[in-house]
Amino acid sequence: MSAPDPGPGPGPGPDPVRADDPPGLEFDRVSMRFGAVTAVEAVSLAAPAGRYIVLLGPSGGGKTTLLNILGGFLSPTEGTVRIAGRDVTRLPPAKRPTATVFQDYALFPHMTIAANVGFGLRMRGVKPAARAPKVQAALEMVGLADAAARKPHELSGGQRQRIALARSLVVEPEVLLLDEPLGALDLKLRRQMQEELKRIQHRVGATFVHVTHDQEEAMAIADEIVVMRGGRIEDRGLPERIYLKPRTRFTAGFMGENNLLDARVERDGAGWTAETALGRFPLADATGAEGAVALSLRPEHIAVEPGPNRLPLGEALVEEVSFFGAFHQAAARHEATGLPLRLRLSQHAETRPGDRLALYVDPALLAPLQP
Amino acid sequence: MTPRTVRLRPADLLAAAYAALLYGFIFLPVAVLVLFSFQESRIPVPPFDGPSLRWYEAMFADRRMMEALVNSILVALVSSSVSLALGFLAAYGLARHRLPGAGALKLILTAPLTVSYLIIAMGLLITFNTLGVSRSLLTIGIGHVVINLPLCFAILYSQMGGHQAQIERAARDLGASEAQVILLVAVPMLWPALFAAFFLAFTFSWDEFIIALLVSRFDVTLPVEIWNMLRSGLNPQTNAVGSFVFLISFLFVIALDLALFGRRRARSRRGAAA
């Protein structure tokens, strides 16, 4: 199986990375091998300063390894790491302009919250009198101004997470590394912290590199998503682009609910045509995805009534309907071909299992996938 | 709720009798020792004719005995501190760094735990003789480090988990030097285990006899002095000294228990209240 090698420099495709942006971080053909296992394979990735970058992928994809290489906890087997144009490949964590928010928070259990947050400044030789206002400001930024005198074990998981964030931000890192920081929080708290992380990132202006396997979290906070799989970069770009026009079959399946249709894509005059079991569809752009490929057909792109630019997909028999609050999700089977399809129906839909639905799609919403 | 009635079955009685027998077997000799330390007359055998503190008075007035007591405290304090420091460094090194032959190193470090004190004492005696080191409190202290270092190492190593390693990484990430990581983060996090190891080492050194006997000469520790006394026959003063040694050991075990389990108990109580 041939995964596309993004090569050095900015990734492929139309995502805007302006050359005049100040350099933030750069991986230059970085590889990491543990014995016979290759965790990261010749990854090249450059991002301008001040972005919120999310490394997304399944566990074992190499994203945490990449983060550890950036933080200085691992020394890459090959390649160069630069932060703000400076080669930091061989620098220890203490000497890098990075700070890390660890997955399990790693607060100092024997110190007060104020001592935890002030630790980095203390290590930099900042006097207690000069530390106090900075510690207080950092605690205020994460909304825990009154926790200074308490100990970590007196706080809830969400509060500890904020303290870990404050502790890392108080040293004003150029790059903040977040290793699945919201993984241990419940869903509601997680969504709330996502907004807060984004707000804080805007405020401090540092580059944030955030590792997660939650694609919703990635889309909600990222300026740029880097999808990793098997130690390589599978795809990278704006969240909207990654979701709407995923480049590969893996990305299309990993990012949200999807229907993947086998298709034969051929050049047809100025455009392309995709031949599928559900019909023939014109495609505007299928560069690099010709031949036997797959099409990404999002459940919410399948309409149940005709409309402008919509082509019929045929009829489907609804097998199951679940209510998700904002919408209904339905599992259906295409009548003519027997293909299973996932559909998204409106909040007020009264569709029941056993109903027949006529389906339509605007072919502009179909995305051809590289194998 | 109905009041629970206590109904004694034969099996319960048997269990109680068994427990009484067991504890009696363990503690009767100590109880007899302590009881006859309060004897009035010169021979510590029944009938008991006390209570009297005259043998305790005699013990504290005995210059050689007091010298031995001071020696014992000195040897226990110094040897436990050295064992603790070396044990901590060894455990930290092996828990936090990948070393070639780490498995073998751990095995060698803990091996003395399985060797009898008599063998260790003989080995030390031969070594000191060969090297021309004269027997003194120093040689006793060295002997006690030999037996207590593996203990301190094993206790501390078992307490250095991955979670603490992550916290130490966080300290390094925030700019702490290696010395700062150890002094400000690793040691304070481990302090209950450090306390436990120290008290255990102190107790073991405090009543260790064989090594102290074989590698000492003029300056002796308390157990050796008691043994010297015993050679001239039983008298209630030996009981008084024995009781005193037992009391000190007992206090240290209590302190050890508090250091190890006191915090956990306090925490679980807090957790139950919350």
Inter-chain CB proximity B177 and A107 less than 8 Å: no
My answer on whether A91 and A218 are in the same domain is yes
Q: What percent of chain A has pLDDT over 70?
A: 94
Of the candidates B166, B174, B191, which has its C-beta nearest A123's C-beta?
B174
What is the number of domains present in chain A? 2
Query: How far apart (Å, rounded) are the C-alpha atoms in residues A101 and B268?
Result: 29
Inter-chain CB proximity A106 and B176 less than 8 Å: no
Q: Measured between CA atoms, how close is A178 to chain B, in angstroms? A: 12
Which of A74, A75, A110, A209 is best to mutate for the B interface (most B CBs within 10 A)? A110
Ordered structural domains, chain B, with CATH: 64-262 (1.10.3720.10)
My answer on whether A324 and A219 are in the same domain is no
Helix (H, G, I), strand (E, B) or coil at B220: coil
Query: Which of A208, A224, A249 lies at the terminal end of a domain, its last residue?
Result: A249
pLDDT digits (tens, 9 = 90+) for B80-119: 999 999 999 999 999 888 888 888 989 998 888 888 889 9
Helix (H, G, I), strand (E, B) or coil at A145: helix
My answer on whether A190 and A59 are in the same domain is yes
Pairing of strands A37-48, A328-334: unpaired
My answer on whether A237 and A264 are in the same domain is no
pLDDT digits (tens, 9 = 90+) for A26-51: 999 999 998 888 899 889 999 888 89
Q: Please state, in angstroms and as integers, the Cα–Cα distance from residue A310 to each residue in A61, A108, A361, A366, following that order.
A: 38, 59, 5, 12
My answer on whether A243 and A345 are in the same domain is no
Mean pLDDT across the stretch A160-175? 92
Q: Measured between CA atoms, how close is B174 to chain A, in angstroms? A: 5
Inter-chain CB proximity A104 and B163 less than 8 Å: yes
pLDDT digits (tens, 9 = 90+) for B25-76: 988 888 888 887 777 777 766 777 777 777 777 778 778 888 888 888 899 9
Burial B93-111 (b: 16+ CB within 10 A, else e): ebbbeeeeeeeeebeebee
My answer on whether A291 and A355 are in the same domain is yes
pLDDT digits (tens, 9 = 90+) for A245-276: 888 888 888 888 888 888 888 887 778 888 88
Q: Does B132 touch chain A (CB under 8 A)?
A: no
Query: Which of A195, A215, A249 lies at the terminal end of a domain, its last residue?
Result: A249
- Which residue range(s) make up the domain with A188? 23-97+173-249
This prediction has a pTM of 0.77
My answer on whether A261 and A237 are in the same domain is no
My answer on whether A241 and A263 are in the same domain is no
pLDDT computed for residue B29 by the predictor: 84
CB A77 within 8 A of CB A37: no
What CATH number does residue A324 fall under? 2.40.50.140
Helix (H, G, I), strand (E, B) or coil at A294: strand
pLDDT computed for residue B170 by the predictor: 92
- The interface predicted TM-score of the complex, written ipTM, equals 0.78
What CATH number does residue A186 fall under? 3.40.50.300
Tell me the angle at which helices B63-96 and B102-110 cross, rounded to the nearest 10 degrees.
170
In this structure, how many other beta carbons lie within 10 angstroms of the beta carbon of residue A308? 5
Pairing of strands A328-334, A340-345: antiparallel
Helix (H, G, I), strand (E, B) or coil at B57: helix
Q: Please, which residues have CB within 8 angstroms of residue A4's CB and are 6 or more apart in sequence?
A: A12, A234, A247, A248, A370
Query: Which of A249, A265, A294 lies at the terminal end of a domain, its last residue?
Result: A249
Q: Measured between CA atoms, how close is B263 to chain A, in angstroms? A: 13
CB A72 within 8 A of CB A92: yes
Q: Please, which residues have CB within 8 angstroms of residue B62's CB and are 6 or more apart in sequence?
A: B237
